[in-house]
Amino acid sequence: MQASLTIFDGLQRYNELRMARANVAMGRSALQAEKDATALQVCKACMDLLYCQGAVEHTMQKREESLQLLRQTEVMAEVGQKSEADVAQMRATLAADDYELTHMQSQTTKALLTLKQLMNFPIEDTLIVERPSVETLSILPEADGGVTPAALARNPRIAQAESQVAAARYGLWAARGGFLPKISLSGGVSTSFFRNMDTSGHAPFSQQFKNNAGEYVAFTLSIPIFNRLATLATVRSRRIALDRACETLDYERSELRRLVAEATADVRNSEKEMLKTNEQVEADSIAAHITTRKFEEGMASAIDVRTAAVTLLQSRVKLLQSQLTMMYNRRLLAYYRQASL
């Protein structure tokens, strides 16, 4: 029976253990990055669903207004204040609203199915998404920007790149250990027993087991001589891997700074767009109201009313889209700065 223990191996096993731990950390960071990417996709799908639902609400509102105006036009046509052409035009407007409503309802159903699929939510169950309030959002300060050290530390893609650098560095150190000599301690005990088959005279087993017992302890020094070229090739390849990992880390840090700057600009632009679109909705609402009054007084045609109503609907939907875009951009910016959703 014998046993051996490596006392020194150039810290190869120690560095290989550290490399394995770094690889585990890199895998965890990669998993977290995938989770965050899926969460952002779910957030985008929620915004798409809210947009479709809001467009359905605005289209239903326009259809109700068109229906009321049609009934009013029919009454006015009966007393000779409007022509049959005006009634036909209002019916065409109502038919167009019905088509647009059906189309947006279909888009809402598709958006809801997409969201359920991303969330792994049962298709047959009911999913209700509450629309966040826009009034609670404050304007982003002009000086608010940049990447904090905490954001760099919490970002999973940067953490993955840092773990990759650590694993490559430990792998390089382990390869360099192949140039160093190895020292090991070994020891063993042994005994023997024999029996002469031709004669009957031999010592009993217990006595031979005791008399023939022996032990040894040895130190072994191994100096690498003939495998230095192979070790040198391994060191060079791992040095290249370390350089590439460092380049990847620098790229991820630079990419995060670019994404934060881009998201900050998107938030500010969407805030300005929302304010301008809100003003446009107010102006289009006044224009639609005045055009309807003029139509009732015989100073505007049914086509003018339809044009004003369509313009108002488009501005309302555009305002809804700008609001949801601002919410998504804010959520994206918060993630880049805090690495949490």
What is the rounded average pLDDT of the residues 133-152? 61
Of 136, 222, 140, 214, the C-alpha closest to 180 is 222
Alpha carbon distances (Å) from 157 to 15, 146, 150, 330: 24, 18, 14, 20
Domain of residue 121, CATH code: 1.20.1600.10
Q: How far apart are CA 16 and CA 24, in angstroms?
A: 12
Collapsing DSSP to helix, strand or coil, 223 comes out as coil
Q: Quick one: pLDDT at residue 203? A: 62
pLDDT greater than 80 at residue 253:
yes
Q: Quick one: pLDDT at residue 138? A: 52
**Percent of all residues in the chain with a pLDDT value above 70, rounded to a whole number:** 88
Provide the whole-model pTM.
0.77
Q: Does any domain span residue 204?
A: no
Q: Quick one: pLDDT at residue 200? A: 57
Q: Does any domain span residue 125?
A: yes
pLDDT tens digits, 49-90: 999 999 999 999 999 988 988 888 888 888 888 888 888 988
Q: Does any domain span residue 189?
A: no
What is the rounded average pLDDT of the residues 260-280? 90
Q: Does any domain span residue 262?
A: yes
Q: Is the dihedral of CA 263, 339, 320, 114 positive or negative?
A: positive
- How is residue 261 written in tokens? 């700057």
The least confident of 122-126, 141-145, 218-222 is 141-145
Q: Does any domain span residue 191?
A: no
Q: Quick one: pLDDT at residue 28? A: 95
Confidence of residue 237 (pLDDT cuts 50, 70, 90): very high
Beta carbons of 309 and 284 less than 8 angstroms apart: no
Q: Which residue has the tokens 């006595």?
A: 207
What's the half-sphere exposure (Cβ side, CA atoms, 13 Å) at 81? 13
Residues spanned by the domain of 279: 12-176+251-338
Region at 10 (left for phi over 0; alpha for psi -120 to 50; beta for the rest): left
Q: How far apart are CA 63 and CA 322, in angstroms?
A: 23
pLDDT greater than 80 at residue 340:
no
Domain count, the chain: 1
Q: Does any domain span residue 227?
A: no
Amino acid (1-letter code) at residue 10? G
Confidence of residue 299 (pLDDT cuts 50, 70, 90): confident
What is the rounded average pLDDT of the residues 265-279? 90
Q: What is the mean pLDDT of the chain?
A: 85
Q: Does any domain span residue 217?
A: no
Beta carbons of 48 and 114 less than 8 angstroms apart: yes
pLDDT greater than 50 at residue 143:
no
pLDDT greater than 80 at residue 166:
yes
Full DSSP string of 171-202? HHHHHHGGGS-EEEEEEEEE------SS-S--
**Torsion angle defined by CA atoms of residues 57, 60, 64 and 65, in that order, rounded to the nearest 10 degrees:** 70
